[in-house]
Amino acid sequence: MTVMEQRGAYRPAPPPAWQLRTDPEPLLPDAAPFRVLGTEAAAEADAQLLLRLHAELVRGRRYNTQATALTKQGRLAVYPSSTGQEACEIAAALALEERDWLFPSYRDTLAAVARGLDPVRALTLLRGDWHTGYDPREHRIAPLCTPLATQLPHAVGLAHAARLKGDDVVALAMVGDGGTSEGDFHEALNFAAVWRAPVVFLVQNNGFAISVPLDKQTAAPSLAHKAVGYGMPGRLVDGNDAVAVHQVLSEAVRHAREGGGPTLVEAVTYRMEAHTNADDATRYREDDEVAAWRDHDPVLLVERELTARGLLDEDRAATVRENAEAMAADLRERMNQDPELDPMDLFTHVYAEQTSQLREQAAQLRAELEAENESDGAAR
Amino acid sequence: MTTVAVKPATMGQALGRALRDALADDPTVHVMGEDVGTLGGVFRVTDGLAEEFGDDRCTDTPLAEAGILGTAVGMAMYGLRPVVEMQFDAFAYPAFEQLISHVARMRNRTRGAMPMPITIRVPYGGGIGGVEHHSDSSEAYYMATPGLHVVTPATVADAYGLLRASIASDDPVVFLEPKRLYWSKAEWNPDTPETVEPLGKAVVRRTGRSASLITYGPSVPVCLEAAEAARAEGWDLEVVDLRSLVPFDDETVAASVRRTGRAVVVHEATGFGGPGAEIAARITERCFHHLEAPVLRVAGFDIPYPPPMLERHHLPGVDRILDAVARLQWEAEN
């Protein structure tokens, strides 16, 4: 049986015997976001996982503050901070196996770093020395995607291709709440469901698409509800609860790997900073709202649980902080070095083989560079 | 002496054969699009492929052009060579974001680590009495996007050869299929089909001394007909079939215009900001001192593609081409 034949045969029955094909009940998300931390279930959470999540969250938070500082120094053109959303990014990335693929949006640098990508290379797009600073195949991380939701169909195609080849690879595709309004979001979910592709869609609902709040973005009961119309399960999770995110994502990944098809997960979280450093968040939201989310901070939630279980003493907390500080210092130092750029690279990777038109233009630039060098030499 | 099974074949059949041979030769090739499976495509170009190779290799997709091309990007990321069909020229527009933001520049943004060997088949152009949104010539949009190859056949043999070369290319190719030539026939041997030089080589279809007609795709047969008709006026016209708009074969075009000293660019896409504007500029830059007259364009009018009952007034025909050639003579004599 081919992969295509594995889809259920479905023909609209002639009227009046029309019947809905699927009972939507099992596909519907729960009424409230799934939570572990702060509930009795937290006691069941694996201690090693909690400690790992804690260390990664602290590191992720420090990465966000350091990268934001680098924008102020002009070292980064822009940085869309994910402060407040670290649990979504890190816990989701840690739910993947090494052979799986991540399809991040421009805000998901931390997910890429949590998969082991060099923090400096993860920032190439935002620094502006090249568009993608790494080989996507080496890390199984697609390029950070700037257009909204356009990476979602890529995730579907890759997962489908992997399945055709007989590889049990899962693709995790990340998108924001605003991105769910895009046509590519719809097409990706539809293709994934029809093909039963091993994909997990993670919507990080952080409340705002730049300045537009969720109630102006959608009239759906939740973003997870959108799954039902495509015939895939929708799951709602507290995006600030790293253990809950890890658990829901791990289940969705397993479901996909075992041939169960895609899942749409909505992680409810909050963007603590502005959209980017070019945005003024005070124009569209109240300080009270931001303050309310501070008490539900993803780092705080894990720390409370670890402390309650006696797993986080001052020594351990200090070590975690020091490691994060060392990462930040290294990032700062390497980002403060000017990247070495070769202008001739402009023509190198447009086509596998340069066209005669590009060869002419490359010769023109080379001559300009040589003339520049000569005049520099003469000036000295 | 071997007997060669040469018999008349249509361009549509040659394209189908090219897809079949590509699927048979390379297990990473996948054909996908709306109606390409069971139906065999609305023009029957993919007829029999799903039956022969299974619906994993020739896949009927949901009806969504951005989704078709977007999933093809992911498949190419995993090492496959998707050949996607857009069914009709104007149906490709929803896929433009995927094409321009991802397909065209993925190689570049990943410094060569992630090539996009995708062939995008777009049946294009008018002359078949299609209703609105079924007859656009959208090649200028594709030409304006770095990273894409833009190719269009005018003969049965080229249809096969260019499509095989496009599928074999490690870069994305927008493969424009002239709809009104789907049923054009030629003697063709499917057992030893002709291959072509690497993409980007124009070919002189007819040599001549009076002027060069620079053209491609559906306008090539029209120009050949015009060249025959021009003999009555004593004009000996050369016809250059570009075959590939990107890369552009400056060498063949410039050599032809230098020989003849006069050039008319002929295409059915609109003229303003159209392919002819670029081609005329390139000819002028390279051949100015050889030119006896300005480079002229015979193009579709600058209007949305007209309803089918009026399209014959829009499409460049033999008379309009001969009028342009006559103007070249006049320009030269005064």
For residue B101, the chain A residue with the least C-alpha distance is A147
Q: Does residue B159 lie in a domain region?
A: yes
- Cβ B114–A136 below 8 Å, yes or no? yes
Three-class secondary structure assignment of chain B: CCCCCCEEEEHHHHHHHHHHHHHHHCCCEEEEECCCCCCCCCCCCCCCHHHHHCCCCEEECCCCHHHHHHHHHHHHHCCCEEEEECCCHHHHHHHHHHHHHHHCCHHHHCCCCCCCCCEEEEEECCCCCCCCCCCCCCHHHHHCCCCCEEECCCCHHHHHHHHHHHHHCCCCEEEEEEHHHCCCEEEECCCCCCCCCCCCCCEEEECCCCEEEEECCCHHHHHHHHHHHHHHHCCCEEEEECCEEECCCHHHHHHHHHHHCCEEEEEEEECCCCHHHHHHHHHHHHHHHHCCCCCEEEEECCCCCCCHHHHHHHCCCHHHHHHHHHHHHHHHHC
Contact list in B for residue A158 (CB cut-off 8 A) is: 74-75, 77-78
DSSP state of A5: G
Choosing from B153, B188, B223, the residue where a domain stops is: B188
Nearest to A137 among B69, B113, B171 (CB): B113
The CATH number linked to B223 is 3.40.50.920
Nearest to B112 among A157, A165, A349 (CB): A349
Residues of chain B positioned with their CB less than 8 A from the CB of A136? 77, 110, 113-114
Considering only CB atoms, A153 lies closest to which of B71, B109, B147, namely B71
Look up the domain containing B297 and give its range.
203-333
Q: Which residue has the tokens 């560079």?
A: A369
| pLDDT more than 90, % of chain B | 93
Question: Which residue in B30, B102, B134, B149 is the catalytic one?
Answer: B134
CA distance B314 to chain A (A): 32
Residue A20 lies in a domain: no
Same-domain pairing of A80 and A36 = yes
> At residue A380, does pLDDT exceed 90?
no
Domain span at residue A357? 343-375
Clarify whether residues A228 and A361 are in a common domain: no
Rounded to 5 degrees, φ, ψ at A210 are 50, -90
Q: Decide if pLDDT at B204 tops 90.
A: yes
Q: Is the peptide bond before A16 cis (omega within 30 degrees of 0)?
A: yes
CB burial of B93-110 (b: ≥16 within 10 Å; e: otherwise) equals: bbbbbbbbbbbbbbbbbb
Contacts of B56 in chain A (CB under 8 A): 2-4, 164
Active site residue A275: yes
| φ, ψ dihedrals at B323, nearest 5° | -60, -40
Which residue type does B189 have?
Answer: N
Give A-chain residues touching B23 at CB under 8 angstroms. Answer: none
Q: Domain for residue A234, yes or no? A: yes
Q: How confident is the model at residue A14, as a pLDDT?
A: 63
Q: How confident is the model at residue B193 (pLDDT cuts 50, 70, 90)?
A: confident
Q: Phi/psi at B60 (nearest 5 deg)?
A: -75, 115
Q: Does a structural domain hold residue A18?
A: no
Residues B179 and B60 reside in one and the same domain:
yes
pLDDT exceeds 80 at position A21: no
User: Is A351 found in the same domain as A210?
Assistant: no
pLDDT of residue A108: 97
**Number of separate domains in chain A:** 2
- pLDDT of B4 reads 60
CB contact under 8 A, B247 and A357: yes
**Domain total for chain B?**
2
CB contacts, 8 Å: A155 with chain B: 74
Residue A302 lies in a domain: yes
Q: Are residues B116 and B26 in the same domain?
A: yes
Q: Record the pTM.
A: 0.95
Does pLDDT of B261 surpass 60? Answer: yes
B45 and B178 part of one domain = yes
**Does the CA dihedral A65-A66-A69-A75 come out positive or negative?**
negative
Q: Are strands B149-151 and B244-246 parallel, antiparallel or unpaired?
A: antiparallel
Q: Which of B104, B111, B78, B147 is nearest to A121 (CA)?
A: B111
Please state whether beta strands B149-151 and B173-178 pair in parallel, antiparallel, or not at all (unpaired).
Answer: parallel
Chain A (330-349) residues lying within 8 Å, Cβ to Cβ, of chain B = 345, 348-349
Residue percentage of chain A with pLDDT more than 90: 89
Look at residue A190 and tell me if it is in a domain.
yes
Of B62, B71, B146, the CB nearest to A157: B71
Clarify whether residues A76 and A53 are in a common domain.
yes
| Cβ contact B147–A143 (<8 Å) | no
Which CATH number does the domain housing residue B105 bear? 3.40.50.970
Radius of gyration of chain A (CA): 23
A293: closest CA of chain B, how far (Å): 36
Q: Taking 80 as the threshold, does the pLDDT of residue B271 lie above it? A: yes
Residues in chain A with CB shorter than 8 Å from the CB of B246 are 355
| Distance in angstroms (rounded) separating the CA atoms of residues A90 and A53 | 8
Instruction: State the Cα–Cα distance between residues B320 and A283, nearest whole angstrom.
Output: 61
Of B131, B164, B188, which one is at a domain's C-terminal end? B188
Mean pLDDT (chain A) is 94
If you average pLDDT over residues B93-113, what whole number do you get? Answer: 97
**Dist CA A267 CA B124 (whole Å):** 44
Residues of chain B contacting residue A4, judged by C-beta atoms under 8 Å apart:
54-56, 59
Domain check: are A210 and A359 in the same one?
Answer: no
Residue B194 in any domain: the answer is no
Residue A335 has what pLDDT?
96
pLDDT at A292 over 80: yes
What length does chain B have?
334
Quick check: B70 and A171 CB within 8 A? no
Distance CA A88, CA A94 (A): 10
Looking at the predicted structure, is the pLDDT value of residue A63 above 90?
Answer: yes
Are B183 and B263 part of one and the same domain?
no
> Who contacts A64 (Cβ-Cβ below 8 Å, separation ≥6)?
A81, A82, A83, A86, A110, A273
* Cross-chain residue pair A150–B70, CB shorter than 8 Å: yes
Query: Do the chains contact at A162 and B169, CB–CB below 8 Å?
Result: no
Q: What's the pLDDT at A278? A: 83
Q: Name the band, by pLDDT with cuts 50, 70 and 90, for residue B330.
A: confident
Domain boundary among B188, B213, B236: B188
From A134's Cα to the closest Cα of chain B, the distance in A is 7
Contacts of A50 (CB under 8 A, 6+ apart): A243, A302, A305, A306, A309, A311
| A187–B70 CB contact, under 8 Å | yes
Partnered with residue B82 across adjacent β-strands are: B30
Range scoring the smallest mean pLDDT among A205-219, B38-52, B182-196 = B182-196
User: Which chain A residues are closer than 8 Å to B147 by Cβ?
Assistant: 350-351
Contact A194 B146 (CB under 8 A): no
Question: pLDDT band at residue A92, thresholds of 50, 70 and 90?
Answer: very high
Contact B111 A130 (CB under 8 A): yes
Domain with residue A309: its CATH number is: 3.40.50.970
Give domain status of residue B20, yes or no.
yes
- What per-residue confidence (pLDDT) applies to A328? 98
Q: Is the pLDDT of residue B2 over 60?
A: no
Q: Answer whether B66 sits within 8 Å of A153, measured CB to CB.
A: yes
| A1 in contact with B, Cβ within 8 Å | no
A279 touches chain B (CB under 8 A): no
Contact call for B71 and A349, based on CB within 8 A: no
Token pair 């579907």 is at which residue?
Answer: A156
- pLDDT-based confidence at B1, cuts 50/70/90? very low
Sheet arrangement for strand A234-238: A101-103, A171-176, A199-205, A263-268, A234-238
Arithmetic mean of pLDDT, B23-35: 98
Across the interface, whether the CB atoms of B247 and A355 are under 8 A apart is answered: yes
The predicted model gives A307-318 an average pLDDT of 95
Q: Which two tokens stand for residue B166?
A: 């496009």
Q: Is residue A120 in some structural domain?
A: yes
Is residue A8 situated within a structural domain?
A: no
Same domain? For A221 and A353 the reply is no
Residues in A touching B169 (Cβ below 8 Å): 352
Same-domain status, A163 and A262: yes
Our CA-based measurement puts residue A118 at a distance from the nearest CA of chain B, in whole angstroms, of: 16
Q: What is the mean pLDDT of residues B211-237?
A: 97
DSSP A100: S
**Predicted confidence (pLDDT) at residue A175 exceeds the cutoff of 70:** yes
CA distance B333 to B323: 16
Give the pLDDT confidence of B114-148 residue by residue, as tens digits.
999 999 999 999 999 999 999 999 999 999 999 99
Q: Do B107 and A349 touch (CB under 8 A)?
A: yes
Phi, psi (5° rounding) for residue B54? 85, 160
Nearest CA in chain A to B79: A161
Domain membership flag for residue B58 = yes
Residue B190 has what pLDDT? 84
Does the structure show a pLDDT above 90 at A96? yes
Contacts of B78 in chain A (CB under 8 A): 157-158, 161-162, 165
Mean pLDDT across the stretch A196-201?
98
Report CB contact under 8 Å: A135, B110: yes
Q: Number of A:B CB contacts under 8 A? A: 149
Residue A4 lies in a domain: no
CB-based contact B247:A357 (threshold 8 Å)? yes
Among the listed residues A34, A33, A79, A88, the one whose alpha carbon sits nearest the alpha carbon of residue A56:
A88
Interaxial angle between packed helices A47-72 and A298-308, expressed in degrees from 0 to 180 and rounded to the nearest 10: 150
pLDDT over 70 percentage in chain A: 94
Q: Residue A266: is its pLDDT beyond 60?
A: yes
Share of chain B above pLDDT 70, in %: 98
Q: Is B5's pLDDT higher than 80?
A: no
From residue A47, give the alpha-carbon distance in Å to each of A50, A244, A298, A306. 5, 14, 17, 8
Residue B86 lies in a domain: yes
Give the best residue of A349, A357, A361 to mutate against chain B (max B CB count within 10 A). Answer: A349
Q: How far is B151 from chain A (nearest CA, A)?
A: 14
Q: Same domain, yes or no, for A274 and A366?
A: no
Whether the per-residue pLDDT at A48 is higher than 50: the answer is yes
Is the residue at B1 inside a domain? no
Among candidate residues A284, A316, A321, A332, the one labeled active-site is: A284
